[in-house]
Amino acid sequence: MKHTITFEPDKVSIRVDEGTNLLEAALEAGVHINASCGGQGVCGKCRVILEAGVVDSKKTQNISQEEYEQGWRQACQTFVRSDCTVKIPVESRGLKRVVAQKLDMGKADRKISALQTIPLAEGWQLEPMTIKVPVQLSPPTLKDNASDLTRLAMALKQQHHIDDLSVDIRCLRTMPQILRTSGWSVTATLMAGQEPKTISSLQDKTPTLKLVRLEPGDTSRQHLAVVLDIGTTTVCAELLDLKTGAVMAETAEYNRQAQHGEDVITRIVYAQEPKGRATLQSLVASSVNQVIDEALEQTGSLKKSIACIASAGNTTMTHLLLGLETRYIREAPYVPLASFMPLVWASDVGVDVPDCVQLFSFPSVASYVGGDIVSGILGSGVFQKKELTLYMDIGTNGEIVLGNRDWLACAACSMGPAFEGGGIQHGMRADQGAIEGFNINPVSLEPMVITVGRKKPRGICGSGLISVLAELLSACVIDRSGKFIHDLPSDRIRPGRFGHEYVLAWAEDSGTGHDIVITEVDIENLIRAKGALFAGCLTLLESLSLSFDDLDRVIIAGAFGRYINIEKGKRIGLFPDIPVEKFHFLGNGSLLGSRLLCLSRGMLGEIERIAKMMTHIELSDNQSFMDKYIGALFLPHTEDGFFPDVIRSLQANCRMICNERKIA
């Protein structure tokens, strides 16, 4: 059920789902309401007056009984039950015309938000990577005394048309006992997928099946897969129900390797120290164990129900998870040990799952274009479409793929962990309490912050950082080089240890007991990161004699919060200045492709095809890239010509704000 909310006095309307939170609706509509506590209901700044309609909204201590009866509510504690008209009182609201001007962006974002559910690649069906089937054997007799394994194989053939079976020795070790104690009624788990080949194609081959586990009774309904995205900064997992294809849980944790360096280069250096590689291997395995355990706990699932793991990550992370040498990834000419990795037993690399679980690693393309990108291209179906697509994965490395169903080119640039919250004073992952949405009143300079889970703010995640940077820029709080304007009349802007800083949340409103700030040094890091990505995209396009205008689609992948805002990303020069309709937001593309593989083993061949199809353009030692990078270290860019629409609206904003500030 949908309802229309109209915000007074600006008469801005937005259609939202039944039960939508009013503060979130305002953020999406581009309507500013002061809010300091991230939506937890404690700062009491987001007071609004319900003029018409039905909402769920308890009286809070910030509202008197009399006010409550007059219609006063706290927006962050209000959930919409009908069409509503909501008036924002002057003390809660921002600047009228700026709000109006930003509305379009809000609408566009709404559309993009919906695109999070971008359809998966086409042509797949639910035929999971592992098969788990109940099977009933007739007990042996003197006349029919075939071996246990032959008996099982015959039954699988007769009852499930499963043929061409091999068996793992570990499974044999327990087979006789299980068959007999279960009364010859068991559940067999079979893993699809021959060993990935290094050169030749899997295309025309049906993956063979290997019997990896036998359990007594019928456990075929407990059939889970784990998909992993091993990032330099973050390790993400999804728990999949292979019976239904549903995603049961998503979890993420910092990669514990981070204690030995923030980026892949420092990790590789550490790996060369004595026992360094083994240490990093064991640390990433422990992070994997943590995300798996959390996903199991969230869903009350049992570890023994896990039947397979598909993992994608950048090339270095993939090597380190398997305990392989990474040294030559770092040294020119930047050579990984292997692109296609063999299947391994997950328990052999320290992943704490039953020893019958195999781990599939997505193949990488080059030292800095990893399996996560191959997985994203698989999941998003870029390789199947005739439209020219630019695929950007924003993480510690920015990885870029350009192409369509006929060709694929890729490149990678080092962005650093800034957009994942790394190297940012109050940066954090998109976890509970992370500021993911941000707005600013350009006159009062009061913020509107919305956090993940509407908890008291604890830090700022990727989408929040984009918003903060874009809002500070368009509210003329920072200039286009990222420096704070010093003479603004707000104690939220102040000198700090790392240059000037803006206070997003005061200590009393924050979840940490400390002020949450963004500093000039943070902003420099963000500018370098977005500059590298933009320069990478431009270099890749130019190397193929293309420009941004030739793009039919841009797909943004990366572990952002829900409120990634394309318009704001364009405003800071992170995304190209092309029509917002061309943008699609994928979320974690790496998980998406891995999920697809686990659900549909037929994708094994496509994965190989994608990895082999991608032409890699090396950006290291590439002078053209370096020049473009330097040019991009400005908001949005030193050359206005790359961002005509952004520059136009920034200039209009700036004029309005200067006027308003003079009035104030």
Determine the 3-state secondary structure of 225 from DSSP: strand
* 303 CB-contact burial (10 Å; exposed 0-12 / middle 13-18 / buried 19+): middle
Amino acid letter, residue 238: E
With binding defined as CB under 8 A, does residue 278 bind a copy of itself?
Answer: no
161: left (phi over 0), alpha (psi -120 to 50) or beta: left
Rounded Cα gap, residues 304 and 316, in angstroms: 29
Show the tokens assigned to 533.
Answer: 């990505």
User: Which CB sits closer to a copy of itself, 120 or 175?
Assistant: 175
With binding defined as CB under 8 A, does residue 663 bind a copy of itself?
Answer: no
Sole window of 47-55, 228-236, 316-324, 651-659 interacting with a copy of itself (rule: CB under 8 A): 316-324
Residue of 100, 248, 265, 337 interacting with a copy of itself (CB under 8 A): 337
User: Which CB sits closer to a copy of itself, 374 or 650?
Assistant: 374
Q: What does the per-residue mask of binding to a copy of itself show for 565-584, with x meaning CB under 8 A?
A: --------------------
With binding defined as CB under 8 A, does residue 154 bind a copy of itself?
Answer: yes
Rounded Cα gap, residues 188 and 483, in angstroms: 63
User: Which CB sits closer to a copy of itself, 111 or 180?
Assistant: 180
Residue of 126, 302, 335, 630 interacting with a copy of itself (CB under 8 A): 335
Q: What does DSSP say about strands 306-313 and 224-230: parallel, antiparallel, or unpaired?
A: parallel
Q: What is the DSSP string of 401-470?
A: EEE-SS-EEEEEEE--SGGGTTTSTTB--S-TTEEEEEEE-TTT--EEEEEGGGPPP-EE-HHHHHHHHH
Rounded Cα gap, residues 627 and 539, in angstroms: 10
Q: What does the per-residue mask of binding to a copy of itself show for 127-146, with x meaning CB under 8 A?
A: -------------xxx-xxx
With binding defined as CB under 8 A, does residue 339 bind a copy of itself?
Answer: yes
Residue of 55, 120, 121, 341 interacting with a copy of itself (CB under 8 A): 341
Residue of 15, 58, 197, 648 interacting with a copy of itself (CB under 8 A): 197
Q: At CA 226, angle to CA 221 and CA 232, rounded to 5?
A: 170
Residue of 1, 65, 161, 199 interacting with a copy of itself (CB under 8 A): 199
Residues in binding contact with a copy of itself, number by CB under 8 A: 62
* Count of other CB atoms within 10 angstroms of residue 507: 11
Question: From start to end of 493-565, where are the E strands?
Answer: 493-496, 499-505, 516-519, 553-558
Instruction: Return the residues of window 382-441 that contact a copy of itself according to CB under 8 A.
Output: none
Residue of 16, 175, 504, 537 interacting with a copy of itself (CB under 8 A): 175
Instruction: Return the residues of window 613-632 that contact a copy of itself according to CB under 8 A.
Output: 618, 620-621
Sole window of 71-79, 193-201, 370-378, 624-632 interacting with a copy of itself (rule: CB under 8 A): 193-201
Residue of 340, 419, 560, 575 interacting with a copy of itself (CB under 8 A): 340
With binding defined as CB under 8 A, does residue 502 bind a copy of itself?
Answer: no
CB of 566 to a copy of itself, least distance (A): 34
Instruction: Return the residues of window 205-264 that contact a copy of itself according to CB under 8 A.
Output: 208, 210
Residue with tokens 């010093």: 486
Instruction: Tally the C-alpha atoms within 13 A of residue 83's C-alpha that lie toward its C-beta.
Output: 3
User: Which CB sits closer to a copy of itself, 5 or 188?
Assistant: 188
Residue of 19, 342, 495, 579 interacting with a copy of itself (CB under 8 A): 342
Show the tokens assigned to 71.
Answer: 């219609």
With binding defined as CB under 8 A, does residue 542 bind a copy of itself?
Answer: no
Amino acid letter, residue 461: C
Residue of 322, 430, 505, 657 interacting with a copy of itself (CB under 8 A): 322
CB of 213 to a copy of itself, least distance (A): 14
Closest CA to 36 of 576, 455, 531, 533: 455
Closest CA to 572 of 425, 474, 449, 434: 474
Q: At CA 67, angle to CA 61 and CA 71, rounded to 5?
A: 110
Residues that bind a copy of itself (CB under 8 A): 140-142, 144-154, 157, 163-169, 172-173, 175-177, 180, 194-200, 208, 210, 322-325, 327-328, 332-342, 344, 348, 364, 366-367, 618, 620-621
